[in-house]
Every structure is written in C-alpha cells, then in structure tokens.
Amino acid sequence: MSLNNMSEVNVARDAFQRINTYVKPNDLSETDKFYNSWVETYDADYSVIDYKPHARMASTLTASVSDEDKRNENFCVLDIASGTGNCAMTLRNNGFKWTIDGVEGNAAMNEKAKVKNLYRQVVFISTRSSILRLSI
C-alpha cells in the first residue's frame, strides 16, 4: 500500500472513529456537545466515508421530476435536520433550483449551513423547544 493510500486509510479511520463516538439520541445535552465538537470535520468525514443518502434522494427526485420542474423556484422543500447543508448542496449540484428552507437542532451546524447560502432560510430550533415557527 502506498503512503498516499495509507494516509487515506488513516483519514477514513479517524472519520469513522468520530462518527462512532455519537451518543445516545435521548441524551440531548450530550448530543448537542457531540455535534458542537464535530462541526468542523463533519463535511469532510462524510465525504471520506462515502455517505450515500443525499445522492439517493437526489437520484430519486431526478427520476420523479421533470427537468422543467427541477428549475421551478416556486417549489419549496423543508430540509429537517439540515446539518451543515449537505442535502441542499446535493440538490443544487443536481440542478434543482427549488426554494429550500432548513431546520437544524444544533446551533453550530446551523451556522455552518448558513454560510453556504443554499437556503432561503435555515432556522435553529432548540431541542428543548416544542414550537417551530417559520416565516414563509
């Protein structure tokens, strides 16, 4: 194995180790701390492990929607648990011009998504809040 390949193996190993430290979903405080610590490497980690759900979603939509409808900015999508904006990025990269709003439960992830300018709005909603209000 070449040094380059060994380096890639180490990067992938590190990404999986970070992902595998995820805490139980019912511990909201620890989950929030986890995502705060992961936000800087989140996008890189998912690219290394070849995460497929966003690509599958875009592929399914592409097969189901006409090219004309893909370009229709009047179509609106709500990206729930929008993270750093990878779902919206995948839609944009596949030619979707739809209006996308995001809702994210981690403030650091929400801020990372905002700077990508993929959403009409991306809203942080505290995991302790039971009410969501979007201005649409």
> pTM higher than 0.85 for the full model?
no
* Contacting residues for 92 by C-beta, under 8 A, at least 6 apart: 118
**For the chain, what is the radius of gyration of the CA atoms?**
17
**pLDDT tens track for 67-119:** 999 999 999 999 998 999 999 999 999 999 999 999 998 999 999 999 999 99
DSSP 8: H
